[in-house]
Amino acid sequence: MLNRRSLLASGAALLAAPSIVKAQTVVGVTSEEIKIGSIMPYSGPASAYGAIGRLQQAFFKGVNEAGGISGRRINFLSLDDGYQPPKTVEQTRRLVEQDRVAFLFNTLGTPGNTAIQRYVNQRKVPHLFLATGADKWADPQNFPWTIGYQPSYRTEAQIFTKYMLENDRNAKLGILYQNDDFGKDYIAGVRDVLGARFDAVVKTVSYEVTDATIDSQVVQLHGSGVDCLLTAATPKFAAQTIRKVHDIGWRPKMHFLTDVSISVGSVMNPAGPEKGVGILTAAYLKEPTDPTWQADPGMQEWRAWMVKHMPDADQTDGNFVYSYGVSKCLMQVLTQCNGDFSRENVMKQATSLNNVAIPTLINGITVGTSASNFHPIRKMQLAKWDGKTWERFGGLIEGANV
Amino acid sequence: MNGFLHQVIAGIATGGIYASVALALVMIYQATHHVNFAQGEMATFSTYIALTLVNAGWPFWLAFLATVAISFCLGVMIERVLMRPVANASVLTHVGVFIGLVLVVSNLTGWVFDYTVKPFPTPFHDGPLLGGLISGHELGSTAVTLVVLGLVFLFFRYTRLGLAMRAAAYNPASARLVGVRVGWMLALGWGLAAAIGAIAGIMVAPVVFLEPNMMLGILLYAFAGALLGGIDNPGGAVIGGFAVGVIENLGGTYIVGTELKLTLALVIIIGVLLVRPAGLFGRVVLSRV
Amino acid sequence: MASQFSEAPPSLRSGVVRPGFRVDPRLLWAIGIALLLLPLFTAESYRLFQLTLAAIYAIAILGLNLVTGYNGQISLGHGAFYAVGAYVAAIMLDKLSLPWWSTLPAAAVICGIVGWGIGRPALRLGGLYLALTTFSLAVAVPQILKYKGIEDWTGGVQGVLVTKPDAPFGLPLDVDQFLYLVTVGIALGVFVLARNLMASRIGRAMMAIRDHALAAEAMGMDIANLKTATFAVSAMITGLAGALSAIAVEFVSPDSFQATLSITLFVGMVVGGVASIIGPIFGGLFVVFVPNLAEEISKSAPGVIYGCILIAFLFVLPGGVAGLLRRLPALLRRR
């Protein structure tokens, strides 16, 4: 074992072990436990997402209490990077080199994951189900050890743009976006569909997370003569936008809202539920404050789990729904591994998910991967705000085909 | 032209937010000659206290008063517990403690009250006015800011306590000699600043929505406003806050683009300090040899 | 300006160390270098990487200490110079394909120029005004880095990926060991230069300006030029550290240089010891290792723990670690 490790460290394990028929790298797995690493912003500007990591800690504790997986308990190491890429690199190296985890799971944030992607691929460490909506994680040719999870923001923007063109070929679109990788992915998605027409049809205005309000931006877009609006903003700014658009008497023909900000409890109700009537979004997750899901078995499973394992947590926080789903998805991978937790097999199973149903995904949307498909969740469904709830309409849209 | 006017009015509405926070900054500067970096985080924490009370069924204005009182006590406590032991250390140590305070308060807020965005009630009629460019709440909160400004002015100008506080901050040694209890004056100053911060937070929260980082950007624009108006002049700071709101919107829309709004505030700060270091309305302090 | 520091304990006001007993300096040097080289043979590469980061932060903090600790100009925005240095290195490596060693002097020179440019207007800003202005700069850094006009060079929000250099001349070192050696070597050089600078006439003038600007001027010192030059030198050193960080982390993006970075550098300076040459070493170790410690204590709110540790540290050691070391001989004698 020790010998194998030191060989691996020199990067020559595959060449140096000719006697083994198929090279298997087993790191972080003993007969008693399997070590899994994760990185979350428990401190710093993005600490709201720390909720995702807190649920996962409780989740794997629960798994262990119920007997673990293939006779092993899960040792889940979730470290804080404060959403700073240099710290992400440091913590990743700690997980891989010092703690020797079997693989990384649901590491959060686009910049941090960009910083570590090459490193984990060089080391051939599975880098599973990243918690970021960027589009670039599905690149099996160059990064065979990295796989994303959710539909990308770019896909979502493509869906919106297609829908807009289907309903009004001459629509002019205003985009209000957060000036970072999250917001810019929406612009990229719109550009994918509009192509050369982009500059003639679209007017973009950005805001910074340090802005106090987006009033000025909304007024500016309204004055520029666009008749449709795409809001790629985080919850606080999305709520401000909905209210401001309504208050200045602007009634865009279509108002698209990123699925990051569709929480009924922390966006639609604060903005004023009647002010958002008619807003469109594309969702893949069930929203915890949406009354539609009150009696849904999947959400009831989630609620029961929350009550049992995290009784003090805020059940209106959509991060918990997301986190529960992605954790369930990982359990499916571990079950499929069937006791063989070598890095090769973990990656193989993670990329052989056959329409796995996850209780917190909108009914009909499943997780599916293959050796060439590194987009686990490809489908979304359009929904319209009716003043009380998100009313879904139309069929499931396969984003990657747009 | 219409767009221009709309931007100005929207700027005034946002400027009201900056003005109320700038006022709190000026207060603590007058009372302690410190600029407390944790002011914004403390105000956010106070706002959550108010929300908790309102959600517990308290009438708005009662919750408002209780929050202001609680914040005052917390401010005094922080001065007594955290600032007193390092009173004789260098300014750099003080800034270090402020930073520690920022870390503790901001993370504590998220931990205790969660990170999800919360709506905050307003006591004013919350309909849109002037075609939606300004809301009833924004007018009401501006009025509150002005009332607070008046009270602050009267307090510092016409009461013995106010005079003693100014003296303690301006020249602690001499103040002590004439019998002012400098230590307690500083503590009172912290209390007052925390109380005004709480008012600012409660007035801001219905507009920008309450979450733990609510004050992050606002505080910087408020700094710019306070410096523009003159950090020792409450009235100037209020005007400065409004001015920054308008400049920010016009600059962001017509000149530099919205990506560089904060950079614009930075340029304002540097520009003012270079051209007129005391601010537009501040007293120019001459140092004599 | 002068009044700010008048309350500081005497040990802070003077940068000169006066231990009660003397050890042969050559022995200290030998021990120090041996200690620096030790991790090369004993530490795993992850630890080595952390120590490299600590050394990089130590250099950056030293830069900050020159202008803030020794010269009395409070900067809460040194992350900006660190960012400029890092981007200069990343762009030279990635877009221009220049050798890694050439990025270091280039980053230092460019940051020196930027520092000179910022140091000029900073002259007009005293004390807390400067602190506030530089803090605003720190907050504005990410959005300046994202600016459209320079996106072709900076990679916008996506940032720039770079690659660590291999050891040259077939040295039997892996990339982490080599980078550690380079960083520690540069750190050693910078620290020695800084010590010599502060012990020189110019260093004494810098401190005199901090302690009593008027008197310093009356004695014929060119305050404006000295202060600006100090700012420039400080920015150079911090920028150099930034360049090293880009190479060590192999990635730069606007999110790498948020306001927290400037705060981190400031915290490191205060904890290590204001106006101390060796202080930044402890500061660098503090900012790398203590957040991990805080996280061990509490996952729910590591920031609260870190803040508490910081405040407690300042209460117990108002002069920082260096202040304690300075007082140590006296404390031991009292026993």
- Give the residue numbers spanning the domain of A244: 153-283+381-401
- Report the range of poorest mean pLDDT among A110-124, B9-23, B161-175, C1-15: C1-15
Model confidence band, residue C24 (pLDDT cutoffs 50, 70, 90): confident
Is the Cβ–Cβ distance between C144 and C267 less than 8 Å?
no
> What average pLDDT does range A143-165 have in this prediction?
92
Question: Which chain A residue shows the shortest CA-CA distance from B126?
Answer: A247
Cα separation, C267 vs C189, in Å, equals 23
**A86 vs C contacts (CB less than 8 Å):** 53, 245, 249, 251, 256
pLDDT of residue C16: 47
Give the residue from A122, A115, A140, A397 showing the smallest Cα distance to A280: A397
Cα separation, C235 vs C68, in Å, equals 11
Distant-in-sequence, close-in-space partners of C153: CB < 8 Å, separation ≥ 6: C91, C95
Helix, strand and coil percent figures for chain B, each rounded to 5: 75, 0, 20
Please tell me the distance in Å from A43's CA to the nearest CA on chain C.
6
Pairing of the two strands C251-252 and B128-129? unpaired
To the nearest whole number, what is the mean pLDDT of chain B? 84
Whether residues A347 and A226 share a domain: the answer is no
Percent of chain A clearing pLDDT 70 (strictly above)? 93
Cα separation, A140 vs A143, in Å, equals 5
Asked, for residue A254, whether it belongs to a domain, the answer is: yes
Q: Does A206 touch chain C (CB under 8 A)?
A: no
Model confidence band, residue C4 (pLDDT cutoffs 50, 70, 90): very low
User: What one-letter code names the amino acid at C220?
Assistant: G
Distant-in-sequence, close-in-space partners of B130: CB < 8 Å, separation ≥ 6: B9
Model confidence band, residue A294 (pLDDT cutoffs 50, 70, 90): confident
CATH of the domain at A348: 3.40.50.2300
Tell me: pLDDT of A13 over 60: no
Tell me: pLDDT of C15 over 50: no
Nearest to C255 among A78, A83, A184 (CB): A83
Asked, for residue A19, whether it belongs to a domain, the answer is: no
Neighbouring chains of C at 3+ CB pairs within 8 Å?
A, B
Whether residues A120 and A264 share a domain: the answer is no
> What average pLDDT does range A117-136 have in this prediction?
92
Tell me: pLDDT of B68 over 90: yes
pTM of the model: 0.86
Question: Which chain C residue shows the shortest CA-CA distance from B217?
Answer: C139
Render pLDDT for C154-176 as a digit per residue (tens, 0 to 9): 888 888 888 888 878 877 788 88
Please tell me the distance in Å from C286's CA to the nearest CA on chain A.
14
Render pLDDT for B31-50 as a digit per residue (tens, 0 to 9): 777 777 888 899 999 999 99
Whether residues A321 and A242 share a domain: the answer is no
* CB half-sphere exposure, A282, CA atoms < 13 A: 31
Q: How many domains does chain A have?
A: 2
To the nearest whole number, what is the mean pLDDT of chain A? 88
Whether residues A167 and A312 share a domain: the answer is no
Contact A111 C253 (CB under 8 A): yes
Model confidence band, residue B130 (pLDDT cutoffs 50, 70, 90): low
**A133 vs C contacts (CB less than 8 Å):** none
Nearest to C295 among A80, A97, A208 (CB): A80
* Alpha helices (runs of H) in chain B, residue ranges in sequence order: 2-32, 39-55, 60-78, 91-113, 136-158, 160-170, 172-177, 182-208, 216-229, 234-250, 261-275
Q: Does B216 touch chain A (CB under 8 A)?
A: yes
Whether residues A267 and A187 share a domain: the answer is yes
Contact A114 C158 (CB under 8 A): yes
Write out the E strands in chain C.
Answer: 160-161, 251-252
Whether residues A179 and A39 share a domain: the answer is no
Give the residue from A354, A360, A376, A387 showing the smallest Cα distance to A55: A360
Render pLDDT for C275-299 as a digit per residue (tens, 0 to 9): 888 899 999 999 999 888 888 887 7
**A214 vs B contacts (CB less than 8 Å):** none
Write down the ipTM of this complex: 0.87
pLDDT of residue B74: 94
Q: Does A137 touch chain C (CB under 8 A)?
A: no
Whether residues A177 and A76 share a domain: the answer is no
Q: Does B128 touch chain A (CB under 8 A)?
A: yes
DSSP state of C172: S
Nearest to C245 among A83, A86, A208 (CB): A86
Cα separation, A127 vs A122, in Å, equals 11
Model confidence band, residue A5 (pLDDT cutoffs 50, 70, 90): very low
Whether residues A117 and A142 share a domain: the answer is yes
Domain map (residue ranges) of chain B: 2-221
Q: Which residue has the tokens 């960083």?
A: C183
Neighbouring chains of A at 3+ CB pairs within 8 Å?
B, C
Nearest to C303 among B34, B82, B107 (CB): B107
- Report the range of poorest mean pLDDT among A55-59, B127-131, B262-266, C303-307: B127-131
- Tokens read off for B200: 């600012």
Asked, for residue A2, whether it belongs to a domain, the answer is: no
Is the Cβ–Cβ distance between C39 and C48 less than 8 Å?
yes
Question: Which chain C residue shows the shortest CA-CA distance from A80?
Answer: C295
Cα separation, A4 vs A1, in Å, equals 5
Is the Cβ–Cβ distance between B170 and B157 less than 8 Å?
no
Question: Which chain A residue shows the shortest CA-CA distance from C50?
Answer: A90
Write out the E strands in chain B.
Answer: 128-129, 134-135
Query: What is the Cα C277 distance to its own chain's centre?
Result: 11
Contact B117 A236 (CB under 8 A): yes
Whether residues A97 and A166 share a domain: the answer is no
User: What one-letter code names the amino acid at B78?
Assistant: I
- Report the range of poorest mean pLDDT among A267-271, B64-68, B215-219, B254-258: B254-258
- Opening angle at CA B9, ends B7 and B13, nearest 5: 110
Whether residues A127 and A163 share a domain: the answer is no
Contact A179 B259 (CB under 8 A): yes
> How many H-runs (helices) and E-runs (strands) does chain C carry?
16, 2
Compute and round to an integer the Cα radius of gyration of chain A: 22
> What average pLDDT does range B80-109 have in this prediction?
86
Please tell me the distance in Å from B209's CA to the nearest CA on chain A.
6
Q: Residue A309 in 3-state DSSP?
A: helix
Whether residues A125 and A177 share a domain: the answer is no
- Tokens read off for A167: 């309903």
Please tell me the distance in Å from C162's CA to the nearest CA on chain A.
10
Distant-in-sequence, close-in-space partners of B285: CB < 8 Å, separation ≥ 6: B278
Asked, for residue A291, whether it belongs to a domain, the answer is: no
Question: Which chain B residue shows the shortest CA-CA distance from A245?
Answer: B132
